[in-house]
Structure 1
Amino acid sequence: MEIELLLECQRNDRNAQRKVYEKMAGKLYSVCKRYLKNDEDIEEALADSFYKIFTKIHQLQNPDIFEAWARKIAVNECLQKLRTNKALHISLEEYHLENSDFTLENASFEKDILSLLNFLPEGCRAIFNLFAIEGYPHKEIALMLSISEGTSKSQLNFARKKLQELLVHQNI
Structure 2
Amino acid sequence: MDGPSTERELVAACLRGDRRAQEAFYRRYAPAALASCRRYAPDREEAMSLLNGGMMKVFEKLPQYRWEGSLEGWVRRLVFRHTVDEFRRQRQRPVLELANWDQPTEDAVTHRLFADDLCKLIDLLPETSKEVFWLFAVEGYSHAEIAAKLDFSEGNSRWHLNKARQLLRERLAHSTHQYSRYAG
- Normalised to the residue count of structure 2, the TM-score between the two structures is 0.52
Residues 72-125 of structure 1 deviation map (CA, whole Å, 9 limit, x = unaligned): 11111111111122179799xx8xxxxxxxxxxxxxxxxxxxxxx979621223
2:33 counterpart residue number:
28
Aligned length: 123
2:112 counterpart residue number:
122
Give the distance between the partners of 2:91 and 2:23, measured in 1 at CA.
Answer: 33
Seen in structure 2, the aligned counterparts of structure 1 residues 120 and 25 have a Cα distance that, compared at 3 Å, is: farther
Q: Secondary structure at the match of 1:121?
A: helix
Is the counterpart of residue 82 in structure 1 residue 87 in structure 2?
Answer: yes
| Percent sequence identity over aligned pairs | 20
Q: Secondary structure at the match of 2:70?
A: helix
Aligned-residue RMSD, C-alpha: 3.9
Is the counterpart of residue 39 in structure 1 residue 29 in structure 2?
Answer: no
Indicate if the aligned counterparts of 2:58 and 2:79 stay in contact, CA closer than 8 A. no
Q: Secondary structure at the match of 2:14?
A: helix
Q: Rg: which structure is higher? A: 2
Is the counterpart of residue 67 in structure 1 residue 72 in structure 2?
Answer: yes
- Normalised to the residue count of structure 1, the TM-score between the two structures is 0.55
Indicate if the aligned counterparts of 1:89 and 1:123 stay in contact, CA closer than 8 A. no
Seen in structure 2, the aligned counterparts of structure 1 residues 90 and 12 have a Cα distance that, compared at 3 Å, is: farther
Bigger relative contact order (CA 8 A; separation at least 6): 1
Seen in structure 2, the aligned counterparts of structure 1 residues 58 and 4 have a Cα distance that, compared at 3 Å, is: same
